[in-house]
């Protein structure tokens, strides 16, 4: 748990040893048997309480998102839910309070400035009373939702009690409430969806705080998580790569393979992390990344050179299926084929370190994806034992 294309493949198609895993919209999906709610419940681990309730909500989400409810697709979702929360809508996290204090302290000066950060720290230590300070309350929380609600109370207390003029100006300039700027709970619910992703895909008009409550609900957590996991096109031949993307970012496995092509062609050492541009708070920076710099150098020598402006324009599409249609992507792929005599791999495992206040130690994307994939294979085995249709 973190604290932090072709038309026929739309909505999350994958290939597995059991055959094509496709979410919706193609012939295979139409001919693959659809599971009913009782069959979905059989695929959820037996240790999970209220299996049928979870199954009913998974089925409803699949229907709402127009995803095909076959064994492979359902097992894809179940594997991620189980890895991220063991089927808990509001997961408990050991040492959550202490970890969150460290995380919020790191953000204070950056988001508030030194003076406001000092006022906020003092407030945490002394208010609403020294015997029951906010710090002491934070240290006692056990679940993400408890901590989230407490932080909202703290932020409201801060803005109403201190009446600091700078706070309103910060909110005006950024378009964010103060709580959303420094709240350390950024991944929420049973599938640990980042709040930024949920904001971009709200299922109905609601405030940020209402959105957080929605994520902590059983249905809401599933809705945003399954949306994040499956509602994008990718020509992956192994579910492992979609699981990797869930951890390190949409298309990171495809983009990591693209970065590997650049290394093969140019001999330049760059990170294979699936991010082709540099980002801060989800926004692309103007500063050039290692990948962009290497591309500019490489594509200046292409049979038909590609200029830096075109490269930057193409790289801005790296989080979409359209990146594969760009001049930059196609040129690099053609150069790779000419040099090696073979087609490039569509996807490889991105090398990304996972860290955050909710983790006891650092991990990497391969660790996450492999464990999710193990759960996926267990789910498929359960389906076979239950004689559920795989094809």
Q: 304-360 pLDDT, tens per residue?
A: 999 999 999 999 999 999 999 999 999 999 999 999 999 999 999 999 987 666 666
Task: Report yes or no on 306 lying in a domain.
Answer: yes
Judgement on whether residues 151 and 218 belong to the same structural domain of the protein: no
More reliable by pLDDT, 323 or 102: 323
261 and 311 share one domain? yes
Same domain, 258 and 305: yes
Rounded distance between C-alpha atoms, residue 351 and residue 376, angstroms: 21
Residue 198 within any structural domain of the chain: no
Q: Could you give phi then psi for residue 368, rounded to 5 degrees? A: -65, -55
Say yes or no: 151 and 216 in one domain: no
pLDDT of 158 > 60? The answer is yes
Residues 46 and 100 in one domain: no
- In this prediction, residue 174 has a pLDDT band, given cuts at 50, 70 and 90, of very low
Q: What is the C-alpha end-to-end distance of the chain, expressed in Å?
A: 32
Q: Comparing 43-57, 87-101, 340-354, 375-389, which segment has the lowest mean pLDDT?
A: 87-101
For residue 346, being part of any structural domain is answered with no
pLDDT grade, residue 166 (50/70/90)? Answer: low
Q: Residue 2: inside a domain, yes or no?
A: no
**Domain co-membership, 231 together with 297:** no
What is the pTM (predicted TM-score) of this model? 0.88
Let me know if residue 142 belongs to a domain: yes
| Phi, psi dihedral angles at 128 (to 5 degrees) | -70, -15
Tell me, what's the pLDDT at 353? 86
Question: Which residues have CB under 8 Å from 216's CB, separation 6+?
Answer: 89, 90, 144, 145, 148, 188, 189
Gyration radius (Cα) of the chain, Å = 23
**What span, in angstroms and rounded, lies between the C-alpha atoms of 73 and 158?**
45
Q: Enter the tokens of residue 246.
A: 């869930």
Residues 328 and 255 in one domain: yes
Same domain? For 261 and 336 the reply is yes
* pLDDT 10s digits, 247-266: 999 999 999 999 999 999 99
Domain coverage including residue 124: 96-188
pLDDT(168) > 50: yes
Helix (H) or strand (E) holding 329: helix 327-340
50 and 121 housed in the same domain: no
Torsions phi, psi for 194 (to 5 deg): -70, 140
Higher pLDDT, 362 or 208: 208
Based on the fold, state whether residues 80 and 124 are members of the same structural domain.
Answer: no
Answer yes or no: is pLDDT of 135 > 60: yes
Task: Indicate whether 197 belongs to any domain.
Answer: no
For the chain, the domain total comes to 3
DSSP code, position 386:
T
Same-domain pairing of 218 and 168:
no
Contact predicate 14/70, CB 8 Å: no
- Would you say residue 124 lies in a domain? yes
Do the domain assignments include residue 194?
Answer: no
Q: Does residue 207 share a domain with residue 83?
A: yes
pLDDT value for 161: 86
CA distance 333 to 171: 44
pLDDT higher than 80, residue 172: no
């Amino acid at each position: 748990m973190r604290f932090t294309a072709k038309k026929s493949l739309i909505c999350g198609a994958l290939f597995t040893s059991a055959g094509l895993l496709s979410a919706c919209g193609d012939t295979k999906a139409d001919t693959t048997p659809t599971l009913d709610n009782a069959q979905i419940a059989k695929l959820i681990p037996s240790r999970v309480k209220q299996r049928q309730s979870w199954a009913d909500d998974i089925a409803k989400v699949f229907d709402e998102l127009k995803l095909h409810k076959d064994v492979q697709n359902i097992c894809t979702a179940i594997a991620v839910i189980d890895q991220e929360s063991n089927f808990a809508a509001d997961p408990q996290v050991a040492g959550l309070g202490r970890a969150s204090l460290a995380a919020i302290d790191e953000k204070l000066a950056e988001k508030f400035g030194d003076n406001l950060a000092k006022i906020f720290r003092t407030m945490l230590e002394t208010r609403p009373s020294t015997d029951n300070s906010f710090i002491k309350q934070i240290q006692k929380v056990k679940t993400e939702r408890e901590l989230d609600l407490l932080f909202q109370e703290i932020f409201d207390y801060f803005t109403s009690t201190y009446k600091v003029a700078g706070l309103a100006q910060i909110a005006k300039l950024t378009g964010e409430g103060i709580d959303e700027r420094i709240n350390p709970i950024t991944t929420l619910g049973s599938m640990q969806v980042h709040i930024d992703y949920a904001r971009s895909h709200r299922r109905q008009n609601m405030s940020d705080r209402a959105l957080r409550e929605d994520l902590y609900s059983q249905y809401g957590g599933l809705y945003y998580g399954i949306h994040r996991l499956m509602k994008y096109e990718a020509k992956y031949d192994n579910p492992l790569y979609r699981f990797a993307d869930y951890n390190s970012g949409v298309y990171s496995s495809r983009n990591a393979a693209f970065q590997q092509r650049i290394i093969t062609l140019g001999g330049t050492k760059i990170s294979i992390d699936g991010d082709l541009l540099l980002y801060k708070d989800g926004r692309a920076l103007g500063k050039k990344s290692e990948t962009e710099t290497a591309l500019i150098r490489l594509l200046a020598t292409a049979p038909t050179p590609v200029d830096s402006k075109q490269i930057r324009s193409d790289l801005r599409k790296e989080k979409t299926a359209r990146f594969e249609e760009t001049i930059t992507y196609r040129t690099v792929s053609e150069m790779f084929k000419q040099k090696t005599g073979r087609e490039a791999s569509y996807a490889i495992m991105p090398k990304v370190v996972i860290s955050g206040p909710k983790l006891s130690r650092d991990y990497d994307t391969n660790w996450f994806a492999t464990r999710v994939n193990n759960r996926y294979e267990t789910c498929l085995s359960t389906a076979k034992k239950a004689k559920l249709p795989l094809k």
